[in-house]
Structure 1
Amino acid sequence: MAVISAEGVELNVERLAARRGTTDPPTVVFIHGMLIDTLVSGYLTLGPTLAAAGFDVVMYDQRGHGRSERLPSGYTLDDFVGDLDVVLDRLAVSGPVHLVGHSFGGTIAFHYAARRPDRVATVSVIESEPATDGWSRKMALALPTAAVEFARGDFQQWVKEEHSAYMAQRVKAASQLLNSSTVAQDIPASRVLDQEHLRALRCPVLAIYGSESELVDQEPWLKSLISTCRTVVVPDQEHWVLLAHPRMVCDLIIGWVREHHPARSREVGGR
């Protein structure tokens, strides 16, 4: 792991090199979700498999999460987008990258693709949505509620008993972030994307949803707005599709990247 300084905040970064000989392998950047998530979810589900498929993989803890620095303020979408820019610069990543975003990470991926189209080859989102006015309203309700609920000792104990001690630790860390910073205020106040921003996206977009998720309604809406969007709905799944079916999600992403980057996914020797 490495630590990168991004405009006054230290970010924890993990990079996995392509494990099979490839000529100029594509770079895949995994962006994790909000609050209880870290780069660990990408490492345990996608990272090694994507590297074995011939991709360079970059994962990082977003500001305030995991081993990255927690600041008292500075949590707008533009701040998160700026962090991604700095990560790519510090790692000297050349050429457009393939963004893979889980939940809030996908929201950042949409935002980055709209703000920095020159740096994005494709976007793959898992159970995610773009930042719109409606999204901001949801965040304005959900984040203060989470700040109260996550701080309750009985809720943390319930998470430990029903899920795992690790998840309980993540809830506790999320509570500390929510109650010691302006994240719950900054995120809903962020600049958002309107329909014209989304229609203007030209990079290919892959969107994966669970059929029982509250976000599955995004599927037809995204397809109607983004001409390059392909969607996959996984039957009998809710929000945690990535954790429930990591191999399937990996296969979808590998196929998507190769489809849109075939020359750079070829092994040495032309195989």
Structure 2
Amino acid sequence: MAIVDTGDVRLHVQRLAARPAAARPADGTAATPLGDGAAAQDATVVLLHGLLTDSLASYYFTVAPALAAAGLDVVMYDHRGHGRSGRPERGYTLGAFVHDLDALLDRLDIQNPVHLVGNSFGGTVAFGYALLRPERVAGMVVIESEPATPSWAVKLGGLLERVRHEMSVNEDAALDWIAAHHGGHTARLAKSAGRLVRDTTLARDIPASAVLGDDDVRAIRCPVLALYGADSDLAAQAPRIRSLLPHCATESLPGHQHSVLVEAPGRVRDLVLDWVGRHASPAGDRDAVRVR
């Protein structure tokens, strides 16, 4: 575990170094290794988790070890306000999360363009970062996610307001219901999320964040793979996101809704490794990306 001070917030970071080829299991328990090219061996993947009840643990206990075993340098961290990172009272616009990522890459002295993997809100952060720092992003995999459009802001605002209201009016009853239907661990996560919404400006800041128009989304030039649970309401966005992003592929996972990362980690791992392996060459030859 490491705590990295960005100058604005202290971020809890976990880094899994790429395992050398000789140390990787050969019995099928690990994902297929990346190619042996220098670009693939130098690839860094940054894992961005979702909002409120999420943390880097969702990656640590699913795909992160396998990605490192396959030859990737893996960086994951808790967003501000989440997990073991600092929880300032103010400063939770989407732009703040995007700048946290930029500052973290600086502090870790990561020079080469990185591959971003973003789950839910983490994918929205990835979209924002690819627009802010295109030269630092080699490619993205976004899981059950979308760019920060005006409709996204309205949706997040409604969700956060419901959480704030329920946890402020009758927190004990809400937590009892969550524990009964989803277990004690989820209830503990919900309690922490409730404090984050109640005690900080997050519920106001995120809906008030700067949003992207269609032209902004079209300006994202890196290759993007968008993964959706086939039974999720976000799956309907696949045709539109392919039409806006110049180099985008989408994949629908049957039988899954929003919790694709946790429910199908093996499939997510394989798709991430395939995508990174095919786009591990230095940024620049974007027209060679095959879109489907």
Q: Give the match for residue 73 of structure 2.
A: 56
* 2:207 paired residue among 184, 188, 196: 188
Q: Give the match for residue 259 of structure 1.
A: 278
SS at match of 2:209: coil
Q: How do residues 161-180 of structure 1 correspond to structure 2 at under 5 angstroms?
A: 161-180=180-199
Q: How do residues 13-28 of structure 1 correspond to structure 2 at under 5 angstroms?
A: 13-21=13-21, 23=38, 24-28=41-45
1:94 CA displacement: 1.3
- In the aligned structure 2, how far is the partner of 1:11 from the partner of 1:58? 12
CA contact (8 A) 2:78 2:85 kept: yes
- In the aligned structure 2, how far is the partner of 1:247 from the partner of 1:158? 31
Overall identity of the aligned pairs, in %:
49
* 1:94 paired residue among 96, 100, 111: 111
1:221-271 alpha-carbon deviations (Å, 9 max, x no partner): 1001112010001112110011110000000000000001169xxxxxxxx
Q: TM-score, normalised by structure 1?
A: 0.94
Q: Give the match for residue 285 of structure 2.
A: none
Q: Give the match for residue 148 of structure 1.
A: 165
Q: How do residues 176-255 of structure 1 correspond to structure 2 at under 5 angstroms?
A: 176-255=195-274
1:85 matched to 2:98: no
Q: Where in structure 1 do 4 or more consecutive aligned residues deviate above 6 Å? A: none
- In the aligned structure 2, how far is the partner of 1:20 from the partner of 1:127? 31
Q: Give the match for residue 155 of structure 2.
A: 138
1:187-212 alpha-carbon deviations (Å, 9 max, x no partner): 01111111111111110000000111
Q: TM-score, normalised by structure 2?
A: 0.87
CA contact (8 A) 2:167 2:198 kept: no
2:254 counterpart letter in structure 1: P
1:214 CA displacement: 1.1
CA contact (8 A) 1:28 1:100 kept: yes
Q: How do residues 9-48 of structure 1 correspond to structure 2 at under 5 angstroms?
A: 9-21=9-21, 23=38, 24-48=41-65
1:5 matched to 2:5: yes
CA contact (8 A) 1:150 1:171 kept: no
1:223 counterpart letter in structure 2: R
2:70 counterpart letter in structure 1: A
State the number of aligned residues.
263
CA contact (8 A) 1:101 1:124 kept: yes
SS at match of 2:215: helix
- In the aligned structure 1, how far is the partner of 2:70 from the partner of 2:212? 33
2:174 counterpart letter in structure 1: F
2:57 counterpart letter in structure 1: V
2:56 counterpart letter in structure 1: L
2:111 counterpart letter in structure 1: S
- In the aligned structure 2, how far is the partner of 1:72 from the partner of 1:11? 15
2:276 counterpart letter in structure 1: V
- In the aligned structure 1, how far is the partner of 2:149 from the partner of 2:139? 20
SS at match of 1:114: helix
2:239 counterpart letter in structure 1: P
SS at match of 1:98: strand
SS at match of 1:185: helix
